Amino acid sequence: MPSPDPGLLMLGGTTDPKKVLKMVHELTYEAFSMCHREPEEKELEKIKRILEAEMIYDQETVETTARRLGHSMMLAGTPDFEEKYLKQALQTTSNQVRMISQKIYSINNCSAAVLLPQELKGYFKKEDLEAEVKRAWEKSLKIKQFTLKKLPTPRESDLKAGKGFKKRIRRFVLENGVRLIVEENPQTPMIAYRTALLGGLRTETQHNNGISAFISEMFTRGSSHHTAEELALHTDEMAGELSGFSGRNSFGLVGDFLSKDLEESLSLLAEVLLEPTFPENEMKKQKEMQISSIRRRKDDLSLFISDLFSQALFRDHPYRLTIPGTEESVNSINRDYLLSYYQHYVRPKNFALAVAGDVAAEEVFEITKRLFGKWKGGSAKFPKLSREPSIQRPRIIEEHIHKEQAHIIYGFHGATLWSRDRFALEMCSAILSGQGGRLFSELRDKRHLAYSVSAFNIEGIEPGACGVSIATSNDTIRDALDGLFLEIEKMRSAPPSKEELDRAKIYSIGVFEIDLQTNSSRANYLSLNEIYRIGATSHLQYPSKIERLTIQDVHKASLRYYRPNGYALVIARNLGSGEKILDIPSWK
């Protein structure tokens, strides 16, 4: 058995540089205060439920189960270590938490580190950081010590999967137009919710860009019955998660809970969706967080160049916009505008709810009918979007960045969700991608030109995007660019081999089947397929559609979409003093 060594306990966060010292003070104070006060009984019970739930969630996929077993073997030399750990954790008392805190949360056992942008070097001194930690320690010493009553030992959870029915998918439509899809999956006692509403970037303009992301975050920031803090606490007490999402074509809510909390968790989801209050104080917080996220995108090279690529590929369509928006557009959002957007798009006929997990479909239907059946409203009206004009001449953006790496995205207009050759185009991407794909083999393995290289294919309600990307060094950018152009030309000039297509099929179907292990993924497919009107269960036909593809199908797709001169090219690199813009290679 491995010898036990001390571990590492970390607290951290991301904030504005002006607030760094305050954050360090608050983080260390919260840790030091654990030495002097015991957690409340309700708080400790919540943590135990979360630990219990994490153990259950880890049983959902082969990957997480293998990781848990391997972790147990590495730490303790036995595969059942985590089960034993959970059993002991469930018996822990508040007094024991305080006693161990006194051993760990000491100023003599504390290290603090801060990472600042290069331009803010010297913004504050090391002594300033040490002073905040010391001040937090001294403040914690003034906390009055007390002891709460000892917690009763909680029962051990039943970690076995539900029984009594076979897996099946049912679809229901309420009288008001609400669509409910339920997949019964009794493998583990968990449930996943996914609500979807048509919206996202397709309903945004330059002026209100980011409104979908904003409203999706505001759903859980206050309702007619609970504050944001109360909603978060209630979710934690059920050891669940509830949050918003927003994308290019839709927005909504995602939730994951234990199946024993079916009615309570679904009631909470209905409350935040149907009765949000959008409090002004929470809107102010969300603005700050969303603008901070927008600023951080500029530091993330992959996000930065993806945003530039969207702007180059789409000139008229809202797909050119970014999901979080711009600082100017987010700052312009007010409560009246948010309510207007909510009333326009959050309507029963524009809504689909998918539930996947250890549930009975009829029971979910009855609860849903009670919670959503009285919701009134007609259909949502969507802006008329003109089709993005095809690219006649290359659209090229070359951006200077202060980085050692260079990034390139070279792409084209892609397929829609209804395109006949959607899956053939996906095989083009799969042939290029992966460790056995052409890009990795030629540009990384043989020529050592890439830190990373991949192909992508993103469908949309309107034509999406497809293409290739590479991260390389500034010294090899010319060769890397030539290599990308050559590989796309080769896709057009000749059909793939049978071996290549077979590998791409096996890889794609394998990734799909692994993805379907989780209830959250199943619910995601069901809700989005339904709201996009391509058939709630259409994803189940994916393996057979891939298997039926021929070499000719794939080659036709490459000829149709990888169009000479009909591309967008974005290059982000460190341009040296006086260095010229690259000469772009032309198609043969």
Question: How do residues 56-70 score in pLDDT, each as one tens digit?
Answer: 666 667 677 766 667
Question: How do residues 332-357 score in pLDDT, each as one tens digit?
Answer: 999 999 999 999 999 999 999 999 99
| Other beta carbons less than 10 A from residue 198's beta carbon | 21
> Which amino acid, 132?
E
Residue 149 scores a pLDDT above 60 = no
Residue 163 scores a pLDDT above 60 = no
Report domain extents, the chain: 17-140, 168-372, 395-573
Residue where the block lists tokens 């030629």: 442
Backbone angles phi, psi at 575, to 5 degrees: -80, 120
| Same topology between domain 168-372 and domain 395-573 | yes
Taking the C-alpha atoms of residue 56 and residue 65, their distance in angstroms, rounded to an integer, is 10
The three-point CA angle 63-452-579 to 5° equals: 160
Tokens of 462: 């309107």
Which CATH fold topology does 395-573 show?
A: Cytochrome Bc1 Complex; Chain A, domain 1 (3.30.830)
Residue 81 contacts residue 72 (beta carbons within 8 Å): yes
Residue 511 scores a pLDDT above 70 = yes
> What CA–CA distances, in Å, run from 195 to 57, 232, 246?
20, 19, 11
- DSSP helix/strand/coil, 116: coil
Tokens of 206: 């330059």
Q: For 270-369, where are the E strands, in sequence order?
A: 351-357
- For residue 10, the model assigns a pLDDT of 75
Taking the C-alpha atoms of residue 332 and residue 264, their distance in angstroms, rounded to an integer, is 36
- For residue 404, the model assigns a pLDDT of 82
* Short-list 526, 559, 546, 551, CA closest to 422: 546
Beta pairing, strands 568-573 & 395-400 = parallel
Of the candidate ranges 83-92, 175-184, 513-522, the one whose mean pLDDT is the lowest: 83-92
> What CA–CA distances, in Å, run from 15 to 23, 303, 333, 379?
8, 19, 22, 41
Taking the C-alpha atoms of residue 211 and residue 287, their distance in angstroms, rounded to an integer, is 11
Q: What is the largest CA-CA distance in the chain?
A: 80
Residue 584 contacts residue 569 (beta carbons within 8 Å): yes
Q: What is the CATH number of domain 168-372?
A: 3.30.830.10
Angle between helices 498-515 and 422-432 (to 10 degrees): 100
Per-residue confidence band for 75, with pLDDT thresholds at 50, 70 and 90: low
**pTM of this structure:** 0.80
Tokens of 437: 């794909």
| Other beta carbons less than 10 A from residue 136's beta carbon | 22
